[in-house]
């Protein structure tokens, strides 16, 4: 019952954010249409000089589509939100596609499982991601300029635009809820329905430059119609797996680990192979299944939930990436191929490198071993707290590569927004540093920002655990330091050269957006962030003295 109430709270929050985004978007579309009509009157010479009446102008404005709709996608679209996870939204509501019922699944079993997994797996999120579908008159450039301006008029000052990303996004806070909005330009006189996004013909109605933004919502639709279990069984299983990945710190696309969409596809595949009625049984099978799948000595086989990877014949969609093909050289190099079910398929774990895959696999092996050890045929009870205790980087690593960017004092509101966008760009380039380091030493990315470091009390900071391989754990071999310098130089080039040039060059202001600084810290250094400290230990000797 507690989980059902919390799920309703998530739905209510999501509906509130959807309604707010739609209202802001409607104002944006209306104002843009008015401005567009005014420009047309000026260009055509029709204005007050020709005696144009207000009703005539209004009728011209109405000739432009004036609608906006928001859809939820990602975790919120699958009802699988976990605290700290994000909610993705498109313009429009997520369709209520009926799941395929199992003939051997009695209705009461759909609710009986609520006590089989801990309550923390159903916590509601505080980040909502929305997809905004607007008429073709709203271009991405217009959206990034007009949407934050309307938010500012409504009292939201912290809106941040990320224009350099492949999918441009606007981020802002709404009543302590983090909201991300992406925009799609749709050619229609009225708002589209959910079912309109499934066929490939939908791309003919979407502008070329916003086609990649629609794949998240299409992925939700494909997953929901392909899972052979009730949606509540699937969503509870996915929440448990996401909670495990977050607790064990192997979650996050920017940090080179599988992200939410990857885990959603992996759980959907497990449900297809093992369509059980209880999420606790599906969770147990998840770790067993992927222990075998990832444990192969040869190349990992691609994972997908569709009948086939290509339609017949495969269409070429302009503005979209080429569909995943194992014969292409770029696809052959993928270490963890988990394919998006919406055509054109792509590898959702494209950012996962060797270290991210290895640590993800080790955590799966660890969880499976604990489950197999505790599971008994008579009771089948498992202490889930033993499966996902919080991981601490300091328990395994004594050296840390710290990357930080300091925030200058006295920044204005616009400068602070620019700094936040600059920090997001740096975060997206961390994989360059990680891939360089993992070529010659054992590393592990800490998949969250540090609270602070001894050098940067205000700004952004990230950490990578590094093992030097030297005989003395507190000294740095010369070869280690030289390779560290080369890796840092590659990272610096990726940030300051690759990120500031090209079609999506970042408009950097050097005075308020300083370059990132990299330095090494050990577990003995003063001012070590609390996130990197080892787990406090309660020694038996201390207990013995107490007993005496």
Report pLDDT digits (tens) over 115-147.
344 444 433 334 566 788 888 888 888 899 999
Distance of CA 47 to the CA centre of its chain: 49
Q: Which band of pLDDT confidence, cut at 50, 70 and 90, is reported for residue 111? A: very low
Burial of residue 346 (CB within 10 Å: 0-12, 13-18, 19+) is: buried
Query: What mean pLDDT is predicted for residues 332-343?
Result: 91
| Amino acid 471: pLDDT | 52
CATH 3.40.50.720 fits 2-227, yes or no: no
Highest-confidence range of 320-329, 336-345, 367-376, by mean pLDDT?
336-345
CA dihedral of 453, 459, 464, 465, whole degrees rounded to 10: 10
Span of 10-14, 141-145, 193-197, 485-489 with lowest mean pLDDT: 10-14
pLDDT-based confidence at residue 292 (cuts at 50, 70, 90): very high
The pLDDT value given to residue 357: 95
76 pLDDT above the threshold of 80: no
Task: Check whether 280 has a pLDDT greater than 80.
Answer: yes
Contact 132, 181 (CB under 8 A): yes
Distance spanning both ends of the chain, measured CA to CA: 47
Per-residue confidence at 284, pLDDT binned at 50, 70, 90? very high
DSSP letter assigned to residue 168: -
So what's the pLDDT on residue 12?
63
Please enumerate in sequence order all residues whose Cβ is within 8 A of that of 546, keeping only pairs 6 or more positions apart, or say none: none
Residues 26-54, mean pLDDT to the nearest whole number: 72
Please list, residue by residue across 116-125, b when 16 or more beta carbons sit within 10 angstroms of its beta carbon and e when fewer do.
bbeeebbbbb
| pLDDT at position 452 | 65
pLDDT of residue 469: 64
Q: Write out 251-320 in H/E/C secondary structure.
A: CCCCCCCCCHHHHHHHHHHHHHHCCCCCHHHHHHHHHHHHHHHHCCCCCCCCECCCCCCCCCCCCCCCCC
The domain defined by 263-387 folds into Poly(a)-polymerase, middle domain (1.10.1410)
**Delimiting residues of CATH 1.10.1410.10 domain(s) in the chain:** 263-387
Cα dihedral 140/141/142/143 (nearest 10): 50
> What average pLDDT does range 283-294 have in this prediction?
94
User: Which CATH code is given to the segment(s) 398-532?
Assistant: 3.30.70.590
Q: Is residue 147 within 8 Å of residue 170, measured between CB atoms?
A: yes
Average pLDDT, the chain: 78
Task: Give the number of other Cβ atoms within 10 Å of residue 245's Cβ.
Answer: 24
DSSP calls for 376-428: -TTT----HHHHSPPP-GGGT-SEEEEEEEEPPTT--HHHHHHHHHHHHHHHH
Q: If we measure between CA atoms, which residue out of 11, 244, 283, 265 comes closest to residue 121?
A: 244
Bigger pLDDT: 123 vs 283:
283
Which residues in 428-463 are b (16+ Cβ under 10 Å) and which e? bbbbbbbbbbbeebbbbbbbeebebbeebeebbbbb
If we measure between CA atoms, which residue out of 72, 70, 49, 52 comes closest to residue 61? 52
Give the mean model confidence (pLDDT) for residues 385-396. 91
* pLDDT classification of 476: cutoffs 50, 70, 90: low
The pLDDT of residue 418 is: 85
pLDDT tens digits for range 437-452: 998 889 999 999 987 6
Summarize the confidence of residues 451-470 as an average pLDDT.
Answer: 77
pLDDT digits (tens, 9 = 90+) for 232-273: 899 999 999 999 999 999 999 999 999 989 999 999 999 999
pLDDT reported for residue 505: 73
User: 505 with 164: CB under 8 angstroms?
Assistant: yes
Q: Is the pLDDT of residue 425 over 90?
A: no
Residue 316's pLDDT band (boundaries 50, 70, 90)? confident
Extract the tokens encoding 168: 């441009």
Domain with CATH 3.30.460.10 in the chain: 2-227
Taken in order 176, 167, 207, 330, the sign of the CA dihedral is negative
pTM confidence score: 0.81
Q: What is the SS3 string spanning 422-441?
A: HHHHHHHCHHHHHHHHCCCC
**pLDDT single digits (tens) 211-231:** 888 888 899 999 999 999 999
Q: pLDDT tens digit string along 178-190?
A: 888 989 999 888 8
């Amino acid at each position: 019952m507690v989980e059902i109430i919390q799920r309703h709270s998530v739905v209510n929050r999501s509906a509130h954010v959807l309604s707010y985004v739609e209202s802001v978007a409607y104002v944006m579309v209306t104002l843009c249409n008015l401005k567009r009509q005014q420009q047309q009157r000026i260009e055509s010479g029709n204005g007050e000089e020709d005696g144009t009446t207000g009703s005539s102008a209004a009728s011209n404005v109405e000739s432009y589509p004036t609608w906006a709709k928001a859809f939820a996608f990602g975790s919120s679209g699958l009802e699988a939100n976990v605290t700290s996870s994000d909610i993705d939204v498109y313009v429009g509501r997520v369709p209520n596609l009926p799941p395929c019922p199992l003939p051997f699944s009695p209705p009461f079993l759909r609710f009986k499982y609520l006590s089989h997994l801990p309550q923390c797996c159903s916590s509601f999120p505080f980040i909502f991601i929305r997809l905004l579908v607007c008429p073709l008159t709203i271009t991405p450039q217009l959206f990034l300029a007009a949407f934050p301006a309307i938010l500012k008029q409504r009292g939201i000052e912290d809106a941040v635009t990320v224009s350099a990303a492949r999918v441009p996004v606007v981020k802002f806070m709404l009543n302590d809820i983090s909201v991300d909005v992406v925009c799609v330009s749709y050619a229609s006189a009225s708002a589209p329905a959910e079912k309109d996004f499934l066929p490939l013909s939908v791309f003919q109605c979407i502008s070329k430059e916003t086609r990649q933004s629609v794949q998240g919502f299409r992925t939700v639709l494909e997953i929901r119609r392909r899972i052979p279990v009730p949606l509540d069984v699937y969503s509870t299983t996915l929440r448990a797996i996401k909670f495990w990945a977050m607790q064990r710190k192997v979650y996050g696309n920017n940090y080179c680990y599988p992200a939410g969409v990857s885990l959603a596809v992996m759980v959907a595949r497990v449900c297809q192979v093992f369509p059980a009625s209880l999420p606790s049984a599906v969770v147990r099978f998840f770790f067993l299944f992927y222990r075998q799948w990832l444990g192969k000595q040869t190349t990992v086989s691609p994972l997908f939930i569709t009948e086939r990877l290509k339609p017949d014949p495969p269409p070429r969609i302009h503005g979209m990436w080429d569909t995943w093909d194992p014969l292409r050289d770029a696809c052959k190099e993928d270490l963890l191929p988990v394919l998006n079910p919406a055509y054109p398929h792509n590898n959702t774990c494209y950012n996962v490198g060797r270290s991210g895959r290895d640590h993800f696999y080790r955590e799966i092996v660890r969880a499976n071993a604990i489950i197999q050890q505790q599971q008994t045929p008579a009771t089948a009870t498992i202490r889930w707290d033993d499966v996902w205790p919080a991981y601490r980087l300091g328990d395994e690593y004594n050296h840390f590569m710290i990357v930080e960017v300091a925030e200058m004092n006295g920044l204005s509101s616009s400068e602070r927004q620019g700094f936040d966008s600059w920090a997001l760009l740096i975060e997206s380039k961390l994989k360059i540093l990680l891939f360089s380091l993992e070529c010659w030493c054992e590393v592990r990315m800490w998949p969250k920002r540090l609270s602070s470091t001894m050098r940067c009390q205000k700004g952004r900071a990230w950490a990578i655990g590094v093992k030097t391989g030297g005989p003395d754990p507190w000294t740095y071999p010369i070869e280690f330091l030289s390779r560290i310098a080369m890796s840092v130089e590659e990272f610096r080039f990726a940030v300051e050269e690759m990120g500031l040039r090209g079609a999506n060059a970042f408009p950097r202001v050097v005075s308020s957006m300083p370059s990132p600084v990299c330095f090494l810290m050990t577990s003995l250094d003063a001012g070590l962030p609390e996130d990197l400290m080892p787990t406090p230990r309660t020694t038996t000797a201390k207990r013995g003295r107490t007993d005496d």
